[in-house]
Amino acid sequence: MIKSLNHLPHPHQDALVLASQFTDLAPPLTARQAVLESSRCLYCYDAPCVNACPSDIDIPSFIRNIQQENVQGAAHKILSANILGGSCARVCPTEVLCQQACVRNNEQECAPVLIGLLQRYAVDHAEFSEHPFKRAEPTGKRIAVVGAGPAGLACAHRLALHGHEVVIFEAREKAGGLNEYGIAKYKLVDDFAQQEVDFVLDVGGIEVRHGQRLGDNLSLSELHQRFDSVFLGLGLAASRQLGLPHEDAPGLLAATDYIRELRQSDDLTQLPLAERCIVLGAGNTAIDMAVQMARLGAQEVNLVYRRGLADMGATGHEQDIAKDNQVRLMTWAQPDEVLLDEHGQVRGMRFARTRLENGRLQTTGETFELAGDAVFKAIGQAFDETALNDPLARSLNRIGDRIEVDEQLRTSVAGVYAGGDCTSLGQDLTVQAVQHGKLAAEAIHAQLMLNQEAA
């Protein structure tokens, strides 16, 4: 239980009603629906949807396989490019990636091909009699992967396919990273994240060691000495601060902390409920937090952002989800003061009105207050600096608080690679992290084989 919310009540609905609020956001396609939807694809030669896919999935090809009722072939094509294709089909913002690029996405056609749902259908219904991928002959090389999130799992899987031995060092008790701990419960339901982890590990050659935290009981210097290469898939483990007094008051915490608790809960009736909830932020995490609190039974949920709707990181689709769940989106307001009651607990927040002047965000001098039993920060994740506190780690080049890497995901330290949210490349998306892990694995393999030939 989250201590800073112990003073809050629990949801009023029973367990069955609450569970019904966290079923699939987008129900899966039936076999008939999948065949009909796949028939809408034009199988473009130079398909713009493929160019828009961060993990380079051959979309027209796998859709054609579904249309021809070759579900296993479709799944194999997807998983060959993206080993976490099942979760990406559920959480990837297809509305701004492949489906936005679909040639049917115009007024005359009414809607793009539902690529995400077709991808989910293929992966979910493929019945492989054995693991679809086979490892190459052992190379005798050992690689350390730090972090069992999407980037780390994708990297480990591809390295294992090349015949290398991989050890994943994971701080938490479960692998999966963001998929296990940070995605809205209604997007990845049941135990899908762990099922996918098991599928990745079933290829063999991958060991996961839990309770191993870089900067605590693990150091980059040690890994660099003991392994032939190192991949850092650290993610962004720290939450950004507001920089206001009373930020540690009961009732104010990071949205990711609550989402993690919710996703790991076996009994939603025991979660703390903020009847009047304030969420600060503009991205998918802010939407996830606000919607989930609304589904738990909050009477009033306000999501507050310092700029306008057009500037929000959350897509229009995500904003619509919030509105459909009676979340109030308030813009042009930034946190000004945390308001406490006589017990020192959060009772609300004062906001300063904002506007743009010559392209810069300015306060107008006007303020207003919102009542709230709890305030959840979803203002962005930051790099956990304690992870890179040994001499070798501190020598890594950085861009801001991210690790600098080149196009082959190489850091400034020879033999050390990095990918996912902790790096300076691309968007903070699950599908992007998977691609980073895959590309880094190929770069590591190429370099190790080059070194072996030279020896």
pLDDT at 401: 84
Tell which CATH classification among 3.40.50.10470, 3.40.50.720, 3.50.50.60, 3.40.50.2030 matches the domain 239-380: 3.50.50.60
What pLDDT is stored for residue 267 in this prediction? 94
Residue 371 burial class via C-beta count within 10 angstroms: exposed 0-12, middle 13-18, buried 19 and up: middle
Q: What is the pLDDT of residue 1?
A: 60
pTM of the predicted structure, to 2 decimals: 0.94
> Is residue 219 classed as helix, strand or coil in its secondary structure?
coil
Fold equal for 31-125 and 142-237+383-454: no
Q: φ, ψ for residue 347 (rounded to 5)?
A: -120, 0
DSSP strand pairing (252-254 vs 206-210): unpaired
pLDDT mean over 363-369: 96
Read out DSSP for 31-92?
HHHHHHHHTT----TT-HHHHH-TT---HHHHHHHHHTT-HHHHHHHHHHH-TTHHHHHHHS
Give me the architecture of the 31-125 domain, per CATH. Orthogonal Bundle (1.10)
Rounded mean pLDDT, 149-166: 98
Q: What is the DSSP letter of 327?
A: E
Residue 401 is classified by DSSP as: T
Q: Is the pLDDT of residue 455 over 70?
A: no
- In sequence order, what are the residues at sequence separation of 6 or more whose Cβ sits closer than 8 angstroms to the Cβ of residue 304? 278, 279, 280, 330, 331, 333, 335, 349, 351, 370
Relative to beta strand 229-232, strand 416-418 is: parallel
Topology of 142-237+383-454 in CATH? Answer: FAD/NAD(P)-binding domain (3.50.50)
- C-alpha span between 23 and 195 (Å, rounded): 17
CA 420 to chain centre: 10
User: Picking from 22-26, 35-39, 112-116, 162-166, which range would have the lowest pLDDT averaged per residue?
Assistant: 22-26
Q: How far apart are CA 165 and CA 239, in angstroms?
A: 33
State the average pLDDT for the chain: 94
Question: Helix axis angle, 150-161 relative to 430-454, nearest 10°?
Answer: 40
Question: How far, in Å, CA of 321 to CA of 280, rounded?
Answer: 17
For residue 22, pLDDT over 80 is answered with yes
Ranges of each domain in the chain: 31-125, 142-237+383-454, 239-380
- 105 alpha carbon, distance to own chain's centre: 26
Residue 439 has pLDDT above 90, yes or no: yes
Q: How confident is the model at residue 382 (pLDDT cuts 50, 70, 90)?
A: confident
CA nearest neighbour of 26 among 86, 106, 116, 88? 116
Q: If pLDDT is split at 50, 70 and 90, which confidence band does 188 have?
A: very high
| N-term to C-term CA, the chain | 55
Q: Residue 150's pLDDT band (boundaries 50, 70, 90)?
A: very high
- In this prediction, residue 300 carries a pLDDT of 97
Structure confidence by residue, pLDDT tens digits, 279-307 = 999 999 999 999 999 999 999 999 999 99
* Per-residue pLDDT at 238: 82
**Could you say which DSSP state residue 426 is in?**
S
Q: Could you tell me which residue, 291 or 129, shows the higher pLDDT? A: 291
pLDDT at 430: 92
pLDDT band at 2 (very low <50, low <70, confident <90, very high): confident
Cα 313 from Cα 213, distance rounded (Å): 30
Mean pLDDT calculated for residue range 157-161: 98
Mean pLDDT of 264-282: 96
What pLDDT is attached to residue 179?
A: 95
